[in-house]
């Protein structure tokens, strides 16, 4: 039998008070070790889904499971959930509240009742993973937006979650900031952290994710990112466009420059490398 999903929603429905159902009969799984991108139109329920997965909201019907066991919403059950799954909300100002970055990042580990030395080790580790060790003593309200985003993520990382859920983490970051964040996430994944990210950026999803979940009014469809992000019908319903890399791969295949199961380019650098390889191959043929 295959391993149960690390965290999953089974037939989950949810409506905000006095509102219509945002999510109905939803099945959604996060498997250990995956990089999963969650995409969909504004208002389709990505944030709601993430809050259900991290226990901030409770499904009206259906259930949330952790390693196959239903989550109980008592103190013990929620502690088990929060030490496994951490959510970083989209707006860092909704997450940061302590006077300084160091204090903010230490809040979660302190709350777990960990000894001071362990708290310090976790805070140092999280600050350095996010490249903000130099900001430890800085008042949170004096940080730039990108710095606040990194500080908010550091707070979640300090909990050493097995699943890190990020709601639009790259929105508002400059290109270099986005690259550095992706490198940080690669580092965390290298240490075994499972990462789920909501994003509207199809190019980023194609490049970063191994699985993509497209949320539409008909429900959620999950599969390999390269497959899901080439499904023009689903993309249209999810309010998304074709990723640049998928369009380039189609063109390259039509020109016979990409054959068989060869993967298409996901970045401009990969496209350049592909073009160099093809030019070299045709030079070799010309020399024959």
Ligand X SMILES: Nc1ncnc2c1ncn2[C@@H]1O[C@H](COP(=O)(O)OP(=O)(O)OP(=O)(O)O)[C@@H](O)[C@H]1O
Minimum CB separation from Mg ion for residue 198, in Å? 6
Helix (H) or strand (E) holding 223: strand 219-224
Separation between Cα atoms, residue 30 and residue 161, nearest integer Å? 14
- Residues 238-257 close enough to bind ligand X by CB under 6 A: none
- How far lies 185's CA from each of 12, 106, 169, 180, 272, in Å? 29, 20, 11, 9, 25
Minimum CB separation from Mg ion for residue 280, in Å? 45
The side-by-side arrangement of strands in the sheet containing 61-66 is 21-30, 7-15, 61-66, 69-70
C-beta neighbour count of 268 within 10 angstroms:
11
- Residues 39-58 close enough to bind Mg ion by CB under 5 A: 46-47
206: contact with ligand X by CB under 6 A:
no
Candidates 44, 140, 184, 194: give the one binding ligand X (CB under 6 A). Answer: 44
Which residue has its beta carbon closest to Mg ion?
A: 47
Joined tokens for residue 132: 């903000």
C-beta neighbour count of 147 within 10 angstroms:
19
CA dihedral 268, 273, 276, 280 (to 10 degrees): -160
| SS3 category, 89 | coil
**Which span (25-33, 39-47, 54-62, 201-209) binds ligand X, by CB under 6 A?**
39-47
CB closer to Mg ion, 46 vs 82: 46
Joined tokens for residue 149: 């985003």
Candidates 26, 34, 39, 47: give the one binding ligand X (CB under 6 A). Answer: 47
Candidates 5, 6, 7, 22: give the one binding ligand X (CB under 6 A). Answer: 22
Joined tokens for residue 187: 């580092």
Separation between Cα atoms, residue 143 and residue 75, nearest integer Å? 34
β-pairing, 211-216 with 35-40? parallel
Minimum CB separation from ligand X for residue 41, in Å? 7
40: contact with ligand X by CB under 6 A:
yes
Separation between Cα atoms, residue 277 and residue 283, nearest integer Å? 10
Answer positive or negative: Cα dihedral of 35, 41, 45, 47. Answer: positive
Candidates 34, 35, 46, 201: give the one binding ligand X (CB under 6 A). Answer: 46
Minimum CB separation from Mg ion for residue 11, in Å? 22
- Residues 216-255 close enough to bind Mg ion by CB under 5 A: none
42: contact with ligand X by CB under 6 A:
yes
Q: 42 is in the binding site of which of Mg ion, ligand X, none (Cβ under 5 to 8 A by kind)?
A: ligand X
**Which span (44-52, 62-70, 138-146, 265-273) binds ligand X, by CB under 6 A?**
44-52
Measured in whole angstroms, the distance separating CA 79 from the mean position of its chain's CA atoms is 22
CB closer to ligand X, 127 vs 240: 240
170: contact with Mg ion by CB under 5 A:
no
Q: What is the DSSP letter of 184?
A: H
140: contact with Mg ion by CB under 5 A:
no
Query: In the stretch 255-274, what mask flags binding to ligand X with x, by CB under 6 A?
Result: --------------------
Q: Which residues bind ligand X (CB under 6 A)?
A: 16, 19, 22, 40, 42-48
What residue ranges bind Mg ion (CB under 5 A)?
A: 46-47
């Amino acid at each position: 039998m295959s391993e149960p999903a690390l965290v999953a929603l089974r037939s989950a429905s949810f409506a905000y008070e006095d509102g219509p159902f945002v999510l109905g009969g939803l099945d959604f799984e996060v498997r250990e070790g995956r990089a999963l991108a969650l995409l969909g139109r504004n208002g389709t329920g990505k944030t709601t889904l993430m809050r259900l997965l991290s226990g901030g909201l409770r499904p009206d019907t259906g259930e949330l499971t952790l390693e196959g066991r239903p989550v109980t919403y008592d103190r013990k059950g929620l502690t088990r959930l929060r030490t496994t799954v951490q959510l970083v909300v989209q707006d860092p100002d909704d997450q940061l509240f302590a006077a300084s970055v160091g204090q903010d990042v230490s809040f979660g580990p302190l709350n777990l009742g960990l000894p001071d030395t362990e708290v310090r080790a976790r805070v140092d580790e999280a600050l350095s993973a996010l490249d903000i060790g130099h900001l430890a003593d800085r008042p949170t309200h004096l940080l730039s937006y990108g710095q606040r985003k990194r500080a908010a993520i550091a707070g979640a990382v300090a909990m050493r979650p097995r699943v890190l859920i990020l709601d639009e983490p790259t929105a508002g970051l400059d290109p270099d900031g986005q690259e550095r964040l992706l490198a940080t996430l690669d580092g965390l994944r290298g240490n075994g952290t499972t990462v789920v990210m909501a994003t509207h950026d199809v190019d980023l999803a194609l490049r970063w994710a191994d699985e993509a979940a497209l949320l539409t009014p008909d429900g959620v469809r999950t599969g390999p990112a390269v497959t899901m992000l080439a499904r023009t019908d689903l993309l249209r319903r999810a309010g998304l466009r074709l990723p640049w890399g998928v369009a380039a791969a189609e063109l390259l295949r039509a020109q016979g420059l990409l054959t068989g199961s060869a993967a298409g380019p996901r970045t401009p650098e990969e496209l350049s490398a592909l073009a160099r390889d093809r030019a070299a191959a045709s030079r070799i043929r010309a020399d024959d």
